[in-house]
Amino acid sequence: MKDQLDKPACNCGIVAIFGQEDAAISAYQALYALQHRGQESSGIVSSDGTSVYRHTGMGLVNTVFSDIKVLRSLPGDLAIGHNRYSTTGSTILSNAQPLLVNFKEGPVALSHNGNFVNTRSIREELVQDGAIFQTSSDTEVVLHLMARSREIDMASKMRDALDRLKGAYSLALLTRDRVFAVRDPRGWRPLSLGEKQGAYFVASETCALDLIGANYVREIEPGEILEIGADGLVSHRLSETAERRACIFEHVYFSRPDSKIFDENVDRARRKLGKNLAIEHPADADIVISVPDSSNTAALGYASRSGIKFEIGLIRNHYVGRTFIHPDQSDRDFNVRVKFNPVEGVLRDKRVVVVDDSIVRGTTLRHLTKMLRKAGAREVHLRVSSPPIISPCYYGMDFPTTAELVASGQTIEQIRMHLGVDSLGYLSLEGMIKAVSEDGGFCTACFTGNYPLVPEKSATKLLHEDAALETVY
């Protein structure tokens, strides 16, 4: 699991499909390709034009949909799906998405990737007005606002509801006969449109379109409500306009390198991060190694620009899962050792540049450094392809508290000593932004504390659970 690797937790993946026979099967494939964006629960809602079908469960896509019979019980040409990593709302089945409710117009299902910042007061208002909440997720707020809208058509209901909400979100919504895809006005989270033989596919990342075999068409625009029905595509706009504030961490770490997000190849951006890192923080070393797999591309970029040889110095065990038993809790290094094993023949007597994409607590890197030295590395020079993380994210990433961040309130030299490396270099904010885009338009709040949207007071993860609602799975 990603968080075990001392990375921020990812912020869900969504998908919507229209006009594809057995749409649930394509949704399953897309969710499978988006597995890295959420491993807690998974779900699909499909429609055959008359009835709407839902299946959700805890665990990986393969676990939730381990039986072809389950997929066959989700008939129809329309579907939306969701992989969830808990952000707002705790780890429980009733929070699994897509949510499915009954409107007067019929069943409506909704998948949600991201986070709202002003749901607290709106939720309060709704509750005062007699609304009842069955989950602690923000998604239910959207549905309540839509249900209370006076607008007639679904797209207008959505605009009505979303005009009241602020935040970072990508949504997929399904009714009996159409699907909708929405992105917030700042375009925080990625969302792409694909096409294959007249069928349409919307997914958080293009790697899902690739697996389905669909061709990339374009991004859903920031502030766009894209409606897909039998009569084709119709584009609506949210009322609010704002400057683009795409999450730069998607390029740094979240998205798969084979995806295109924000109209840019992740792979290209990530390599550039490594190159800029090499320019800013050269090293006098023999080899460059990566902390696999997320830092591979940046490490190649560093190696290429610095002229230092790229080597595979750490082997990652891909069989690690949630169920691994760590019997001896006193063996602190074991958690890291079970994931990574150093390649002694590569490291022995070498001065090693280690490239990692980001550091949260620093726990993994401290153990890795010890491990590398034990395997014979003479020097360890850590290079990080993003700036120090110092502030929480209110837009969909799950960090530890600020106090737990290794970079919070420490100088670079203090961090270096804490990690036990010979030298330490973080990519500068400027170097990072330049690597990703010429034009800017990114949210860098976790590195800078500059928040494009200020959250309501105490927008903590369990915000809506102060009402003391807890469901045990």
Q: Which is nearer to a second copy, 265 or 402 (CB)?
A: 265
Q: Which is nearer to a second copy, 230 or 315 (CB)?
A: 315
Q: Which is nearer to a second copy, 69 or 457 (CB)?
A: 69
The CB density around residue 177, as the number of other CB atoms within 10 Å, is 16
Which residues belong to the active site?
A: 12
Write down the least CB distance from residue 53 to a second copy, Å. Answer: 5
Sign for the CA dihedral angle at 181, 187, 192, 193 comes to positive
HSE, CB side, 13 Å, CA atoms: give it for residue 305.
18
Q: How far is the C-alpha of 363 from the C-alpha of 374, rounded, in Å? A: 17
Q: How far is the C-alpha of 101 from the C-alpha of 124, rounded, in Å? A: 20
β-strands 379-384, 423-426: how paired? parallel
Q: Which is nearer to a second copy, 403 or 468 (CB)?
A: 468
Give Cα separations from 280 to 107, 216, 367 (angstroms): 55, 35, 26
Q: Which is nearer to a second copy, 52 or 278 (CB)?
A: 52
Backbone angles phi, psi at 309, to 5 degrees: -65, 135
Write down the least CB distance from residue 70 to a second copy, Å. Answer: 7
Instruction: Locate 193 and state its tokens.
Output: 């449109």
Write down the least CB distance from residue 178 to a second copy, Å. Answer: 14
β-strands 199-203, 246-247: how paired? unpaired
Give Cα separations from 236 to 155, 163, 174 (angstroms): 7, 13, 16
Write down the least CB distance from residue 246 to a second copy, Å. Answer: 18
Write down the least CB distance from residue 65 to a second copy, Å. Answer: 7
